[in-house]
């Protein structure tokens, strides 16, 4: 005698999976828009140079304290600006990774 299994037993409900995938995609789009609108600030050398950028990696402002400007050492100022930009980019990337990881449950979806 063969045991009968209820209809659909052991098979995923494809409609439910599609709805779940669509919801995740919508949530990710909303989170991406939120992250792109967020402003991040990074600095270098005790805030001698401060950079503000948005989540799209667009630099919104650069603030340089007067004491950071030495006409005889322009290279130092250039290095401080680069360091502040890099610190801010790292903040943007880390926040985006953490926020998207919460949505995907750590699935590691490429491109996020």
The number of folded domains in the chain is 1
Question: Over the range 61-89, which residues count as b (16 or more CB within 10 Å of their CB) and which as e?
Answer: eeeeeeebeeeeeeeebeebbebbbebbb
pTM for the model: 0.70
Whether residue 9 lies inside any domain: the answer is no
For helices 14-37 and 74-104, the axis angle rounded to 10 degrees is: 160
Cβ count near 110 (within 10 Å) = 4
The Cα 15–Cα 74 span in angstroms is 62
Whether residue 98 lies inside any domain: the answer is yes
**pLDDT value at residue 104:** 76
Whether residue 60 lies inside any domain: the answer is yes
Q: What is the CATH number of the domain that holds 85?
A: 3.30.1310.10
Whether residue 4 lies inside any domain: the answer is no
Whether residue 2 lies inside any domain: the answer is no
Domain interval for residue 81: 14-104
Span 18-53, pLDDT tens digits: 998 899 889 989 999 999 999 999 999 999 999 999
């Amino acid at each position: 005698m063969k045991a009968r299994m209820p209809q659909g037993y052991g098979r995923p409900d494809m409609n439910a999976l599609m709805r779940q995938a669509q919801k995740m995609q919508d949530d990710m789009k909303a989170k991406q828009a939120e992250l792109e609108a967020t402003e991040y600030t990074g600095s270098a050398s005790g805030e001698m140079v401060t950079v503000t950028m948005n989540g799209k990696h667009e630099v919104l402002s650069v603030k340089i304290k007067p004491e950071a400007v030495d006409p005889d050492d322009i290279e130092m100022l250039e290095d401080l600006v680069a360091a502040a930009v890099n610190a801010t980019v790292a903040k943007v990337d880390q926040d985006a990774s953490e926020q998207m990881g919460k949505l995907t449950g750590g699935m590691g979806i490429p491109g996020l």
